[in-house]
Amino acid sequence: MINMKTTSNIPTLSRGKQIGIIIAIFISQFFNNGDTMMMSTATPSILADIGGMSFYSLMFTAKTLTACIGFLIAGKLADKFGRRHTMQVSCVLVAIGYVISATAANMPVMVISRAIAGIGAGLGLSLCYIIIGDLFENAVYAKVYIVVTVACSIACIAGGPLGGIITTAFGWNTVFWMIAPLPVISLVLISICMPNYVIDTPEIKFDTLGCVLFVIATTMMILFLSLSGSFFKVTDPLMLITLAVAII
């Protein structure tokens, strides 16, 4: 069996920097998993304010689709440009997406902002597990993995109620303004605590065709589920073609 990872380029970090990285990963997992739940309860206020009921499903579809793309390319980017740099890009994209969402004056802008945040979220969700797999081993890895899982659970459970409370008290824009600093905090901690490094691995051909086909299939299926019933009938020829392409 080929050992896919060597330890030659993995930095040795102090306890303080390890804790800083764990906090950054916890925060990253929280906002990447929780923002959709928070947005779901804020959606009625968003629609009432900026309109665009026909784009309702696309707000969620845009992030889901681009997150799939980010998740696919995260490993390749991290191997080429380094873990820290790729994680920094993830945090910046998410922060930009949140700021645009908070200031969105119409639904197309909101959809675009969710797509931008989705790419960053996909990168971050994948990179968190890559990083803890690199830097923490054996029993320590198990503990850090539990911390990451707890972050996901808290985000999923508390995101919806928290978004509803904030929206009711301060407005839907505040939901995005309040979570926008989180990727910035994660960015700062990653920049301070984690050096940029790559892992020496055997030369493996990147399955570009497989990724492209996966993205096409996912895109077609998400579009079918999002558009059928609201924009087109399920039996509409365009919807049937979309479904056929996804299956093929």
> Residue 224 has what pLDDT?
77
Q: Residue 23 CB: number of other CB atoms within 10 A?
A: 16
pLDDT of residue 203: 60
Structure tokens at 177: 């303004």
Q: What is the pLDDT of residue 214?
A: 79
- The CA distance from 97 to 116, in Å, is 5
At residue 230, the pLDDT reads 62
pLDDT score, position 202 = 59
What pLDDT sits at residue 7?
A: 43
C-alpha to C-alpha distance for 97 and 155, rounded to whole angstroms: 18
Write the single-letter amino acid at 98. Answer: Y
Q: What residues pair up with 177 in beta bridges, in sequence order? A: none
Q: Which of 94, 145, 152, 155 is nearest to 123 (CA)?
A: 94
Q: What is the pLDDT of residue 87?
A: 93
pTM of the model: 0.81
- Tell me the backbone φ, ψ of residue 232, rounded to 5 degrees: -135, 160
pLDDT on residue 6 = 42
Q: How many CA atoms lie within 13 A of 23 on its CB side?
A: 17
**Chunked in runs of 10, what are the mean pLDDT values of the chain (248 residues)?**
46 85 90 85 87 77 86 86 92 95 90 92 90 82 85 85 89 92 94 84 68 78 72 76 84
CA–CA gap between residue 101 and residue 90 (Å, rounded): 17
SS3 223: helix
- How many Å separate Cα 75 from the centre of its chain? 14
